[in-house]
Structure 1
Amino acid sequence: MKITQVDTVHVAAYPNITWVQIHTDSGLVGLGETFRGAQAVQAQIHELTAPYLLGKDALAIEAHHHHLLHGYIGFAGSGVETRAASAVDIALWDLLGQATGQPLYQLLGGAVRDRVPVYNTCAGYTYNSATQRRVVTEGSADVAPEGPYEDQQAFVKRPAQLAESLLSEGYKAMKIWPFDPFAAASRGQAISAKDLATALKPFREIRRAVGEEMDIMVEFHSMWNLPMAVRIAQALEEFKPYWAEDPVQMTNLDTIAEYRSRVRIPVCASETLATRQPFLHLLTRNAVDYVMLDLSWVGGISEAKKIAAIAQAFHKPVAPHDCTGPVVLAASLHMAMSTPNVVLQEVVRAYLSGWYRDLVTQLPEVKNGFATVPPGAGLGLALSPALLARGDVSVRSSRL
């Protein structure tokens, strides 16, 4: 099955997302996705990636994965080369599933579970719709809700109601980031006792409302220096967070090991890392409790499976990231279905009930705190014809 055309698809209304469609001489089309830096990723794909792929066997996934992800330059982090390679890898696996008539998880080793436990990241509908994430504070004006799940606004202003709402829908875990505004104000260098108390309010109110029925993850977005990250973790101990995610920037990984040695909250890292090497460093330094990775940033399904296997050798669980797009979510769930040490999958209920529905033909089902993959071969979804017919869509093609 020969690759005959590589398309990138971009929609102005969703500026962060790039979709890749890989066409073959059999008529099958594989779908991949990555997030942020859309214009740069498209340039990478058509300048370097597509010329390599065109004319080659679409099913030689490992060969293409190695060439695109472990080549000459640009592959030490989740930059445009890695994001392009990640989207291509997801699309090639989708093609393999379609060619064999099998769901992707079957080709990744078969199911180890019939559904995947999930937690809700408390973002609102437009949280990641612009190039910069939206920051909410107690004093910021409410945005007009697009639906019932303006969860970022809720965790700052109505955390008890939010926790009760999530429990009523079967979620048993949630992730929030109330420290971010204070990190932004000081560039992560300091947080006062008063501001620390303000940021702790959501945890206190959630525990008061639902007790320990709800696990709470805390996201730091790599915004703090080491002393402040430690100070915050010590203040959080009484609320028993499930994990502290990316407490400091993932540049000096030895610092993460030092952080973990000084705190009593499990450490999760990191959606921002790419390829297996930094994850191996984290694991050999005993710097992490939970391995988080994003399939569209880490190197695709092929690399994610290798990282999960390394993590399993260290008896560490994996929790795939999704605050990006529905194709990555579907791919992550297929990996989770076939990977024993995946413990949780991130979902955003605002996205699943909102704009994700406008992008693809079908979505994973999330019910009672668990997700199932879309039925069908490969990923089980394709780009919506209505999306491709929009006036703000642009498709760029490289052909054999």
Structure 2
Amino acid sequence: MKIKSVRAFPIQSEMIGALYQEGATSGRRPPWTKTAEVAGPMSGYTRFKRSRTAWRYDGAVGCLVTAEDGTFGFGATRYDLPVVHLINDHLGPVIEGENALAIERTWDMMVRAASPYGTSGLPSYAISAVDLALWDLKGKLLEQPVYALAGGPVRDDLPVYATGNDTDWNLELGFRGTKLACAFGPHDGLQGLARNEETIARTRELIGPDIELMLDCWMALDVDYAVRLAERIRPYGLRWIEDCLLPENAEAHDELRRRLPSMTLATGEHWYSIQSFASACIRRPADVLQPDICWAGGFTGCRKIAQLAEAHGLEVCLHAGANTPYGQHLSITSPAIRWAEYFMGSAPGVPLEDIRIFPGMPVPVDGRIVPSDEPGFGLGLTLDHIRQMQR
């Protein structure tokens, strides 16, 4: 069966979910995302300090791959029209006419075709969307869930932790781990350092000793600040601190590892190439690697990363891995992936079923999740859904 067409389009983000929900429960209070300050790489610039949306360029992207017989697969990623154009004007035409089941071949073709302008960054987002659509298509053509095509599950279900600062709601939903967004960075001085510690101390008191606690620093820190923060929060028994540094500075990551030999470090959300993760497996600047399946080469790319990590004795935890069927299917097939992240950006009191990205997607129940066993990723999308979501 050959690939007939590959077409990408910008998504009306507000339409995802609304396409199939009959209604939504009102929250008890606004979600933490409405008012919380979160440190980031632009925190040193006053007019951009309070909100990421003030400076970020974003936009959801959908990718529809259709086979000769009309069967389709759907993939998703981010970064709007630049990624749409890369798929429609370059990568799609490269693989149209190829065997729809030969995904290793099409992935390699896309990576090599993008090599003149580099595969890391926006090209990796584009490759990811196409690759995910191809796996979804392959599962439908063979009438198998993607996790079965990848070798089957290595466990019965996936433990899931919640990312988000509405900690009481995370506990109520039964998550056995919770991750905070770090509010303050180097530009906030000693007062910010103290306030970070206060938040972590308060959260540890709330959740008790038997719930895992992590801290997401989202590229906001430098080596010295990360070390000072790690030393201050050591008494609170964090499972890890993550994404402390700008992603490209490999030497800084190595130095942070040298200065924090006993702290578990996690990173890789903003690494995109196989080579970046292969280098990290050798250098070991982190204990937990966190590729995003919609950004780092799709199912094929992240499967390779998980296998590299497994061979080197490192753990993988996909960025937002439980928030999409894509991440759920890969996570349950890899021994290197011990649990999955679920980002909580909705209001406390709103059932997780009301905020699913796709209609066929399972959501965590009591802190655990089982991927759909429907063909492909079990997205539950129709062509009418896809037409409605296009911008």
Name the TM-score, length of structure 2 as normaliser: 0.82
Q: Could you say which residue in structure 2 is the equivalent of 1:265?
A: 263
Which residue is 1:173 aligned to? 177
Per-residue deviation, residues 327-386 of structure 1 (Å, max 9, x unmatched)? xx21111111111110121112446837743x5231123111111112301101143666
* 8 Å CA contact retained: 2:162, 2:175: yes
Distance 1:354 1:382 in 2: 14
Query: In the alignment, what sits opposite 2:10?
Result: 10
Pairing 1:330–2:325 present: yes
Partner of 1:342: 337
Aligned counterpart in structure 2 of residue 88 of structure 1, from 104, 108, 130: 130
> How many residue pairs are counted as aligned between the two chains?
342
Letter in 1 for 2:298: G
- 1:248 to 2:245 alignment: yes
Residue 75 of structure 1: CA displacement? 3.1
Identity among equivalent positions (%) equals 26
- 1:294-309 aligned at under 5 Å gives the runs 294-309=292-307
Cα deviation code 1:303-324 (max 9, x no counterpart): 111111111111111101128x
Aligned partners of 1:240 and 1:265 also within 8 Å: no
Q: Does 1:380 align with 2:378?
A: yes
Q: Per the alignment, do residues 389 and 98 of structure 1 end up closer, same or farther by CA in structure 2, a change over 3 Å counting?
A: closer
Residue number among 261, 272, 275 corresponding to 1:274 in the alignment = 272
1:61 aligns with 2:103: yes
Q: Is the 8 A contact 2:3 2:65 kept in 1?
A: yes
Matched with 1:42 is 84
The one-letter amino acid of 1:353's match is L
My pick for the range that moved more, 5-14 or 280-289, is 5-14
Hey, what's the Cα distance between the residues in 2 that align with 1:197 and 1:73? Answer: 47
1:366 to 356, 364, 367: 364
Q: Deviations over 1:253-286 (max 9, x none)?
A: 1221210121232110111101221112112112
How has the CA–CA distance of structure 1 residues 13 and 294 changed in structure 2, closer, same or farther, with 3 Å as cutoff?
closer
Q: Distance in 2 between matches of 1:340 and 1:90?
A: 21
In structure 1, stretches of 5+ residues that fail to align are 123-154, 156-161, 184-188, 395-400
2:60 and 2:326 map into 1 onto residues whose CA distance is 15
Residue 212 of structure 2 is aligned to residue 215 of structure 1: yes
**RMSD of the TM alignment (CA)?**
2.1
| Residues 1:315 and 1:42: Cα distance change in structure 2 (over 3 Å) | same
Contact between 1:5 and 1:24, CA under 8 Å: does it hold in 2? yes
* Separation of aligned partners in 2, 1:169 and 1:201: 24
Aligned to 1:142: none
Matched position secondary structure for 1:367: coil
Distance in 1 (alpha carbons) for counterparts of 2:355 and 2:383: 14
Cα pair distance change 1:389/1:274, threshold 3 Å: closer
Divergent runs of 4+, >6 A = none
Aligned letter for 2:307? Answer: A
Aligned mates of 1:348, 1:88 — CA distance in 2: 24
The alpha-carbon deviation at position 11 of structure 1 amounts to 2.9
CA distance in 1, matches of 2:139, 2:72: 11
Q: Is the 8 A contact 2:200 2:236 kept in 1?
A: yes
In structure 2, the CA distance between the partners of 1:389 and 1:58, relative to structure 1 (3 Å rule), is: closer
The alignment's TM-score, normalised by the length of structure 1, stands at 0.80
- Which stretch shows the higher mean deviation, 257-266 or 24-33? 257-266
Alignment CA distance shift 1:291-1:53 (3 Å): same
Question: 1:110 Cα shift?
Answer: 1.1
1:119 corresponds in structure 2 to 161
* SS, match of residue 261 in structure 1: helix
SS in 2 for 1:46: helix
Q: Does the aligned pair in 2 maintain the 1:178–1:200 contact within 8 Å?
A: no
- Relative to 1, partners in 2 of residues 1:385 and 1:360: Cα closer, same or farther, differing over 3 Å? farther
Q: Deviations over 1:69-118 (max 9, x none)?
A: 244223352x2211111111111111111111111111101111111111
The answer for the alignment partner of 1:353 in structure 2 is 352
